[in-house]
């Protein structure tokens, strides 16, 4: 007989360490998994000889090791008719929809998500776009319901959020493809024009038959005509718009330069004299289109993040009709409906509280760190979390008119606002082209007075060739691209290239308190009294949703807990390991008859910490001081910000006294620390500062910061931010704390210096080349040889620079 | 040098083919997502089950 080893009572998943459901425990197996997803990941890693991953994770993260985020929801609202109408496209017996997947970040995620059809019958295909975290699902509705697919995705750690693939999205995609095609055509033409130009330069040395020369010239003429008339048309269209509106834009000088070069070349080709400049025209069109594409791509991704905002609000609510509750999509809610909000869930709509009382956590909405109590008939806001028992709400505002919806609308408006900083490269290239054309004309005029027209033209051609603004056009974008790449490796994700320029000059920086300067979580700061109660309290608090409970709870606790009762707004009681335990507010415990030191309580609140009491119903009492502690490096980082010349303000929705204490500890002047600021007031504060000619950088993480982030010149969202803030911000720091902010600011300074250096190098280079050509020292051949050198210099300067490290 | 009269149009023809190829790929949406395919290429095929 084979001995079956005794299994421990609770099996932990070998991948994510979550408890394994009893039904999934495989007896006698060394590995246990909580779900198919974890099993797949584990087997892949083990199969590839990468089992060491688990050792690394254990060493590295300690108890911070994250269980795969599983909300455990069933997504019944996805099968609702209203949802299908809005999000699902049906073609024949196939249905398809797009979802934003939270939590995808690596190749393993792609692999796992795209293996869905193997896990669930009826799923036809799954394509994941890793960069945007968007998955496109195709399934047979007769075989499988969308809710089943959604909950499977959820169970393997990727909660799906519905996304609309609207007309706007389609239009943007078409636009991007058209842009790419234009670049391809312009590029192919520019390359061939360059080849022909080199053959023509060669004629300076060895001479060329007239027939051959004319053949090359007419070919180049034809190619340049296509280049200007097809991909180059966008510039002429822009210039025409500027003329009609009588407001000059950057397309105007570009169009002028292009037409001068093209018409001059065409005239000389047909009259069989002088020189042609078609390659400069072709390359200019190509480079300007590339620059434009990069910029438009940034705008498009900003738009996509805006779309995400709509996906992020909670997707469903429990509607109560005649005492029966049904899960419906939020879009189906009407004003006057009654909804039920379970303990721990997020409120879906603004409404009037029907239950006697409730405790809600409004931290994401207002930044208040302590939960607030709400009485019957008072307003409960969407986006807040119900911490107590289940409550009922009569809906008074839905969708965009809820407070959180209003905030999101403001963010959307700001995101649509065009970037104030104009396209540097375009502007410079345009002006540059005009100046060069003018200089070429002067050269021709000057030299014809002393020599023949042909010699004069030759000098002018040398000038045009050496002045080709490749290096100038490349200087800024290359430096920015290199800096964005380097910053990303350091955990600083920058959305737009303009960001560096704005951040390079010091201004006003506004820091959110909770989560940015402080840890953002409640922690036990002091434990007075009976220490032996601590393990019992830790076990009991696993059964509560209160933020204080999260600070006190220890999920690894194996102690048995029974008879748990939660007293809303007071505390929790239960029997742990055979001992009756009460944990809660001092008032409640005093009422129950616990005996503790009142002086200790006032010491705690004087330190702006919050007290909690634990009691065993007899002699043993603990007084626990809870607080949101400072990050270890905050004070040092803020000192550095002051050194860099920034004016530092703290802007928080929390109690002013708490904000003052924090300001004092990190060295921010008390008149610059503002507490009790509502999200709307934060935005107003940003705008007031902007009115007094300050550049404003806002650093924050919550929903309450989103509008301020969007309104600020540059918004920086820190690690752990609410998605709304991510969408509103220009920069996202994937590391917690202020270290990334300091690095971002000093890196921006270095990047802008690099850009200036690059511009200077290429201007000097082109300038001296132009001077030599005007003096008649440079001939077109040498000009053609030297031209790429300036581009090379600029490229190597950009890649070798140490902007972020 | 009369070969030039054939070679240059030929080069332009090849360039045209390349541009048409690019246009086709772009219409197919092959440039919509430039990140995921790089990862996808590294996944092993599913093992073929033996009868």
Kindly report, residue by residue over A738-747, the tens digit of the pLDDT.
Answer: 888 898 998 8
* pLDDT for the residue numbered B17: 95
User: Considering chain B, what percentage of its residues have pLDDT values greater than 90?
Assistant: 35
Number of domains chain A contains:
5
Q: Do A192 and B26 lie within an 8 Å CB cutoff?
A: no
Q: Are A198 and A288 members of one domain?
A: yes
With cut-offs at 50, 70 and 90, classify the pLDDT of residue A25: low
* Minimum CA–CA partner of B24 in chain A: A181
pLDDT tens-place string over residues A346-370: 788 888 998 888 888 776 666 666 6
Q: Are A510 and A557 members of one domain?
A: no
Give me the residues paired with residue A647 across strands.
A508
Q: Do B35 and A176 lie within an 8 Å CB cutoff?
A: no
If one compares A100 and A205, the residue with the highest pLDDT of the two is A100
* pLDDT for the residue numbered A419: 46
Q: In this structure, is residue A438 part of a structural domain? A: no
Identify from B7, B19, B25, B44 which residue to disrupt to test chain A contact, counting A C-beta atoms within 10 A and taking the largest count: B19
Q: In this structure, is residue A314 part of a structural domain? A: no
User: Considering chain B, what percentage of its residues have pLDDT values greater than 70?
Assistant: 82
Phi/psi at A615 (nearest 5 deg)?
-150, 145
Distance in Å, alpha carbon of B47 to nearest chain A alpha carbon: 13
The average pLDDT across A257-285 equals 80
- CATH code assigned at A662: 3.40.50.1000
Q: In this structure, is residue A331 part of a structural domain? A: no
Q: Residue A340 and residue A295: Cα distance in Å, rounded?
A: 46
- CATH code assigned at A153: 3.30.70.100
If we measure between CA atoms, which residue out of A590, A681, A780, A788 comes closest to residue A202? A780
Q: Residue B25 and residue A582: Cα distance in Å, rounded?
A: 67
* pLDDT for the residue numbered A370: 67
The alpha-helical segments, DSSP class H, found in A667-722 are 679-691, 706-711
Q: Do A215 and B8 lie within an 8 Å CB cutoff?
A: yes
Tokens for A362, please give them.
């409004």
Q: Residue A203 and residue A196: Cα distance in Å, rounded?
A: 11
Residues of A in contact with B35 (CB under 8 A): 129-131
Task: Choose one of A702, A721, A750: the last residue of a domain.
Answer: A750
Q: Are A652 and A583 members of one domain?
A: no
Distance in Å, alpha carbon of B15 to nearest chain A alpha carbon: 6
User: Considering chain A, what percentage of its residues have pLDDT values greater than 70?
Assistant: 76
| Averaged pLDDT of chain A | 77
Residue A17 is inside which H or E element, if any? none
Q: Are A159 and A212 members of one domain?
A: no
Q: Are A587 and A655 members of one domain?
A: no
Q: Which range has the worst mean pLDDT, A42-56, A170-184, A748-762, B14-28?
A: A42-56
The average pLDDT across A159-169 equals 72
- Closest partner residue to A212 (CB to CB) among B1, B19, B29 is B1
- Closest partner residue to A192 (CB to CB) among B12, B33, B34 is B12
- CATH code assigned at A542: 3.40.1110.10
Q: In this structure, is residue A256 part of a structural domain? A: yes
* pLDDT for the residue numbered A36: 62
* pLDDT for the residue numbered A255: 77
Q: At what angle do helices A780-800 and A470-489 cross, to 10 degrees?
A: 10
The average pLDDT across A601-609 equals 76
User: Looking at the predicted structure, is the pLDDT value of residue A433 above 70?
Assistant: no
Q: Are A178 and A289 members of one domain?
A: yes
Q: Do A180 and B34 lie within an 8 Å CB cutoff?
A: no
Q: In this structure, is residue A310 part of a structural domain? A: no
3-state SS class at A405? helix
Half-sphere exposure of A724 (CA within 13 A, CB side): 27
* pLDDT for the residue numbered B23: 92
* pLDDT for the residue numbered A596: 80
* pLDDT for the residue numbered A219: 93
Q: Are A103 and A131 members of one domain?
A: yes
- Closest partner residue to B33 (CB to CB) among A131, A191, A212 is A131
* pLDDT for the residue numbered A59: 45
* Minimum CA–CA partner of A174 in chain B: B27
Which residues form the domain of A722? 492-519+631-750
Q: Are the C-beta atoms of A408 and A706 separated by less than 8 Å?
A: yes
- Residue A5, number of CB atoms within 10 A of its CB: 9
User: Looking at the predicted structure, is the pLDDT value of residue A4 above 50?
Assistant: no
User: Looking at the predicted structure, is the pLDDT value of residue A420 above 50?
Assistant: no
User: Looking at the predicted structure, is the pLDDT value of residue B20 above 90?
Assistant: yes
With cut-offs at 50, 70 and 90, classify the pLDDT of residue A206: confident
Mean pLDDT is highest, among A165-179, A477-491, A681-695, B36-50, for A681-695
With cut-offs at 50, 70 and 90, classify the pLDDT of residue A17: low
User: Looking at the predicted structure, is the pLDDT value of residue A48 above 70?
Assistant: no
Residues of A in contact with B21 (CB under 8 A): none
ipTM of the complex: 0.86
With cut-offs at 50, 70 and 90, classify the pLDDT of residue A63: very low
User: Looking at the predicted structure, is the pLDDT value of residue A68 above 70?
Assistant: no
User: Considering chain A, what percentage of its residues have pLDDT values greater than 90?
Assistant: 5
Q: Are the C-beta atoms of A516 and A704 separated by less than 8 Å?
A: no
Q: In this structure, is residue A603 part of a structural domain? A: yes
If we measure between CA atoms, which residue out of A145, A136, A27 comes closest to residue A79? A145
Q: Which range has the worst mean pLDDT, A7-11, A125-129, A287-291?
A: A7-11
Q: Are the C-beta atoms of A288 and A429 separated by less than 8 Å?
A: yes
Q: Do A180 and B26 lie within an 8 Å CB cutoff?
A: yes
Tokens for A777, please give them.
């020292």
User: Looking at the predicted structure, is the pLDDT value of residue A653 above 90?
Assistant: no
The alpha-helical segments, DSSP class H, found in B1-48 are 4-27, 36-40
Distance in Å, alpha carbon of A277 to nearest chain B alpha carbon: 19
Task: Choose one of A68, A98, A119: the last residue of a domain.
Answer: A68
Q: Residue A422 and residue A295: Cα distance in Å, rounded?
A: 11
For chains A and B, CB pairs below 8 A equal 67
Q: Are A176 and A293 members of one domain?
A: yes
With cut-offs at 50, 70 and 90, classify the pLDDT of residue A7: very low
Q: Are the C-beta atoms of A696 and A710 separated by less than 8 Å?
A: no
pLDDT tens-place string over residues A757-768: 877 887 888 888
Q: Do A128 and B11 lie within an 8 Å CB cutoff?
A: no
Q: Are A590 and A609 members of one domain?
A: yes
* Minimum CA–CA partner of A187 in chain B: B19
Give me the residues paired with residue A357 across strands.
A375
Distance in Å, alpha carbon of A433 to nearest chain B alpha carbon: 28
The average pLDDT across A695-715 equals 83
- Closest partner residue to B35 (CB to CB) among A131, A209, A212 is A131
* pLDDT for the residue numbered A183: 92
* pLDDT for the residue numbered A430: 63
CA A686 to chain centre: 21
Q: In this structure, is residue A80 part of a structural domain? A: yes
User: Looking at the predicted structure, is the pLDDT value of residue A225 above 90?
Assistant: yes
User: Looking at the predicted structure, is the pLDDT value of residue A62 above 50?
Assistant: no
If one compares A347 and A412, the residue with the highest pLDDT of the two is A347
Q: Are A90 and A161 members of one domain?
A: yes
* pLDDT for the residue numbered A115: 74
With cut-offs at 50, 70 and 90, classify the pLDDT of residue B24: very high
Q: Residue A294 and residue A429: Cα distance in Å, rounded?
A: 16
Give the β-pairing of A492-494 and A338-341. unpaired
What is the 8-class DSSP label of residue A401?
G
If we measure between CA atoms, which residue out of A357, A190, A433, A206 comes closest to residue A290? A190
Mean pLDDT is highest, among A62-66, A423-427, A642-646, for A642-646
Task: Choose one of A165, A183, A207: the last residue of a domain.
Answer: A165
Q: Residue A438 and residue A774: Cα distance in Å, rounded?
A: 12
Q: Are the C-beta atoms of A350 and A402 separated by less than 8 Å?
A: yes
The average pLDDT across A489-513 equals 79
Q: In this structure, is residue A588 part of a structural domain? A: yes
* Minimum CA–CA partner of A135 in chain B: B36
The average pLDDT across A258-268 equals 81
Distance in Å, alpha carbon of B26 to nearest chain A alpha carbon: 6
User: Looking at the predicted structure, is the pLDDT value of residue A435 above 50?
Assistant: yes
User: Looking at the predicted structure, is the pLDDT value of residue A96 above 50?
Assistant: yes
Beta strands in A111-187 (DSSP E): 123-129, 134-139, 160-163
Q: Are A613 and A672 members of one domain?
A: no
Q: Are A105 and A188 members of one domain?
A: no
- Closest partner residue to B39 (CB to CB) among A110, A184, A196 is A110
Tokens for A233, please give them.
């048309």
């Amino acid at each position: 007989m084979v001995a079956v080893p005794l299994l421990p009572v609770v099996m932990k998943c070998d991948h994510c360490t979550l408890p394994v459901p009893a039904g999934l425990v495989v007896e006698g197996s060394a590995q246990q998994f909580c779900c198919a997803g974890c099993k797949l990941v584990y087997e892949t890693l083990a199969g590839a000889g990468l089992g060491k991953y688990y050792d690394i994770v254990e060493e590295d993260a300690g108890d911070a090791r994250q269980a795969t985020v599983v909300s455990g929801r069933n997504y019944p609202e996805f099968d609702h008719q209203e949802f299908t109408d809005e999000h699902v496209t049906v073609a024949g017996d196939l249905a398809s929809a797009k979802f934003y997947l939270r939590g995808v970040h690596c190749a393993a995620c792609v692999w796992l998500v795209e293996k869905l059809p193997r896990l669930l019958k009826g799923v036809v295909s799954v394509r994941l776009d890793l960069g945007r975290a968007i998955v496109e699902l195709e399934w047979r509705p007769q075989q499988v319901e969308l809710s089943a697919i959604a909950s499977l995705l959820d169970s393997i750690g990727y909660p799906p959020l519905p996304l609309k693939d609207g007309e706007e999205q389609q239009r943007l995609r078409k636009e991007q493809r058209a842009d790419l095609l234009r670049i391809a055509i312009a590029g192919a033409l520019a390359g061939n024009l360059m080849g022909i130009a080199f053959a023509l330069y060669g004629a300076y040395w060895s001479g060329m038959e007239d027939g051959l020369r004319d053949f090359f010239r007419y070919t180049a003429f034809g190619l340049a005509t296509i280049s200007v008339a097809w991909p180059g048309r966008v510039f002429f269209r822009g210039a025409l718009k500027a003329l009609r509106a009588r407001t000059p834009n950057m397309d105007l000088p570009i169009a002028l330069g292009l037409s001068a070069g093209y018409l001059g070349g065409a005239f000389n080709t047909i009259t069989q004299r002088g020189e042609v400049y078609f390659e400069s025209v072709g390359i200019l069109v190509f480079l300007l289109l590339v620059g434009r594409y990069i910029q438009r791509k940034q705008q498009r991704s900003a738009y996509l993040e805006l779309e995400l905002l709509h996906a992020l609000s909670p997707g469903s609510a429990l509607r109560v009709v005649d005492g029966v509750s049904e899960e419906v999509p939020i879009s189906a809610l009407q004003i006057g409906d009654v909804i039920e909000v379970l303990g721990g869930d997020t409120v879906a709509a603004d409404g009037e509280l029907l239950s006697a009382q409730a405790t809600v956590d409004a931290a994401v909405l207002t930044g208040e760190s302590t939960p607030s109590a709400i009485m019957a008939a008072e307003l409960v806001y969407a986006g807040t979390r119900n911490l107590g028992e289940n409550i009922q709400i009569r809906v008074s505002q839905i969708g965009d008119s809820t407070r959180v919806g209003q905030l999101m609308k403001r963010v959307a408006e700001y995101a649509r606002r065009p970037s104030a900083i104009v396209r540097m490269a375009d502007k410079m290239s345009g002006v540059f082209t005009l100046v060069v054309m003018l200089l070429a004309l002067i050269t021709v005029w000057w030299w014809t007075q002393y020599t023949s027209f042909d010699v004069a033209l030759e000098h002018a051609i040398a000038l045009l060739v050496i002045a080709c603004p490749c290096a100038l056009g490349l200087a800024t974008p290359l430096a920015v691209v290199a800096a964005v790449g380097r910053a990303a490796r350091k955990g600083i994700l920058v959305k737009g290239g303009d960001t560096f320029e704005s951040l390079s000059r010091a201004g006003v920086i506004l820091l959110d308190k909770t989560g940015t300067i402080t840890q953002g979580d409640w922690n036990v700061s002091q434990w007075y009294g009976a220490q032996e109660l601590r393990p019992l309290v830790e076990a009991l608090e696993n059964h509560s949703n209160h933020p204080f409970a999260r600070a006190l709870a220890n999920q690894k606790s194996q102690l048995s807990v029974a008879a748990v009762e939660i007293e809303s707004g007071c505390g929790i009681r239960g029997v742990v390991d055979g001992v009756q335990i009460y944990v809660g507010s001092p008032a409640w415990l005093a009422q129950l008859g616990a005996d503790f030191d009142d002086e200790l309580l006032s010491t705690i609140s004087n330190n702006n910490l919050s007290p909690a009491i634990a009691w065993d119903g007899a002699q043993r009492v603990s007084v626990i001081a809870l607080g949101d502690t400072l990050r270890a490096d905050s004070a040092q980082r803020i000192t550095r910000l002051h050194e860099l010349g920034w004016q530092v303000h703290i802007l928080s929705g929390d109690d002013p006294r708490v904000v003052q204490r924090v300001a004092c500890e990190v060295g921010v002047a008390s008149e610059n620390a503002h507490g009790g600021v509502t999200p709307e007031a934060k935005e107003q504060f940003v705008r007031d500062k902007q009115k007094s000619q300050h550049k404003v950088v806002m650093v924050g993480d919550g929903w309450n910061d989103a509008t301020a982030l969007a309104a600020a010149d540059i918004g920086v969202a820190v690690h752990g931010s609410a998605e709304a803030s991510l969408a509103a911000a220009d920069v996202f720091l994937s590391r917690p704390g202020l270290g990334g902010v300091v690095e971002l600011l000093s890196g921006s300074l270095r990047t802008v210096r690099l850009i200036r250096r690059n511009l200077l190098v290429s201007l000097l280079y082109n300038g001296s080349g132009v001077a030599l050509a005007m003096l008649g020292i440079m001939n077109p051949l040498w000009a053609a040889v030297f031209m790429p050198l300036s581009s090379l210099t600029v490229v190597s300067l950009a890649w070798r620079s140490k902007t972020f490290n | 040098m009369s070969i030039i009269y054939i070679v240059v149009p030929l080069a332009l023809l090849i360039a045209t083919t390349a541009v048409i190829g690019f246009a086709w790929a772009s219409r197919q949406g092959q440039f919509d997502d430039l990140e995921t395919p790089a990862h996808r290429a590294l996944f092993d095929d599913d093992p073929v089950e033996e009868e």
